[in-house]
Amino acid sequence: EVQLVESGGGLAQPGGSLRLSCAASGFTFSSYWMSWVRQAPGKGLECVAKIKQDGSDKYYVDSVKGRFTISRDNAKNSLYLQMNNLGAEDTAVYYCARHSWGSLEYWGRGTLVTVSS
């Protein structure tokens, strides 16, 4: 069974940092593109970043470029999102998702990031 479990969310101050993790199991992690998607409270969905199987290609939405870094450790079956210089607009539930057939097939339960002073 495919499982994606996010962790690392919490309360951060404006300008602060957080590092999200996603533990993957039930599939060959190194064979799939992976993404982070966020959903602000009561709002819609936004693709934040995605990373190729071997980590050689990374893509970011413009609003997080230069502040967020996606990475992965295939030996640990883990996906990460380093978030720096956080602002109120980054408050959201962050989901880890596995790609297949050109879209996001499996999603984790998400981890809530709240940016507030």
Interaction between residue 5 and other proteins (CB under 8 A): no
- Residues with Cβ within 8 Å of residue 56, at least 6 apart in sequence: none
Q: Where are the beta strands (DSSP E) in the chain?
A: 3-7, 10-12, 18-25, 34-39, 45-51, 58-60, 68-73, 78-83, 92-100, 103-107, 111-115
Q: Is the CB of 16 or the CB of 91 nearer to other proteins? A: 91
Interaction between residue 89 and other proteins (CB under 8 A): no
The one among 34, 79, 92, 104 contacting other proteins by CB under 8 A: 104
Interaction between residue 41 and other proteins (CB under 8 A): no
The one among 92, 95, 111, 115 contacting other proteins by CB under 8 A: 95
Structure tokens at 71: 């990475």
Distance CA 10, CA 113 (A): 5
Interaction between residue 27 and other proteins (CB under 8 A): no
Contact set with other proteins (CB under 8 A):
35, 44-47, 50, 59, 61-62, 95, 100-110
